[in-house]
Amino acid sequence: MLNEAAILAARDNQKEIEMKDIEEAAMKVKMGPEKKRLQSKLEQKMTAYHEAGHAVVGHLLMGTDPIHRISIVSRGMALGFTMSRPKTDKYQQTRSELKDEIAMMLGGRAAEKVVFNELTAGASSDIERATILARRMVVDFGMSDLGPVSLNQTVDTNAWGYSVGDSVRLSEVTQAKVDVEIKRFVDEGYKVAESLVKMNRKILDKLVDRLIKVETIEQEEFEEIVGKTKPSIEEK
């Protein structure tokens, strides 16, 4: 990352690496370099509403981290991105926080539906991540109505970490119950996201207008548009 930052600084004829160079280098390493894709105005607008949906839902929910950056600049396979980061290091996540995280993941899909009454394939990654998280809540964390039971299909391990015996398989009845609980978490998350998008449509529109104009909005400007900062963990 620092090598990439040094290259960026050299290109701008700087004598020192600045924080903006490190930020850009981190983005490049994590998500890939910026790509100038030719998009129609409608595609750009849909991307902006998608990312704004993530950001607005994430900002309004108590269990998610503050929004750090929102952009419609393409990187890697993504047409845009929304980044959040915690104010302090976190070592645990509660059930409520995980449910809010799922809702934020589905905020982009909710915005597409509310604004355009249409769905795009751009939400595929969000849906996959939301489903994986919901599955972990059910089978690993015991956070569903099925109770504190490990339902993951794993194998027993010995003291040295090697697998022993046959893999643990769920019955068809139990697997069906697991699937229902996973869908329930995802559906609940989407309903929350859709409700927040509908109630805050004016803020969403204002954010999109600015996003289309400047392409990338940092945390300070974002919070000027949508309102005050999210409460800290202690305030929660």
Report residue 201 as tokens: 């449509």
Q: Report which of 110, 125, 100 is spatially closest to residue 195, judged by C-alpha positions.
A: 110
Residue 105 main-chain phi, psi, to 5 deg: -60, -35
pLDDT of residue 167: 57
pLDDT, mean over the chain: 85
pTM for this predicted structure = 0.80
**Annotated catalytic, 128?**
no
For residue 235, what pLDDT band results from cuts at 50, 70 and 90? Answer: very low
Q: What is the CA radius of gyration of the chain?
A: 21
pLDDT for residue 106 is more than 80: yes
Q: β-strand 156-157 against 163-164: which pairing, if any?
A: antiparallel
Domains, the chain, ordered by start? 1-31 (no CATH), 32-226 (1.20.58.760)
C-alpha separations of 181 from 109, 143, 145, 156, 178 in Å:
21, 10, 7, 25, 5
Q: Which of 23, 24, 43, 51 does the annotation list as catalytic? A: 51
Q: Determine the 3-state secondary structure of 163 from DSSP.
A: strand
pLDDT tens across 139-170, in order? 989 999 988 887 776 555 555 655 555 556 77
pLDDT above 90 as % of the chain: 46
Residue 204 main-chain phi, psi, to 5 deg: -60, -45
pLDDT tens across 47-73, in order? 999 999 999 999 999 999 999 889 988
pLDDT of residue 227: 85
Q: β-strand 81-84 against 67-71: which pairing, if any?
A: antiparallel
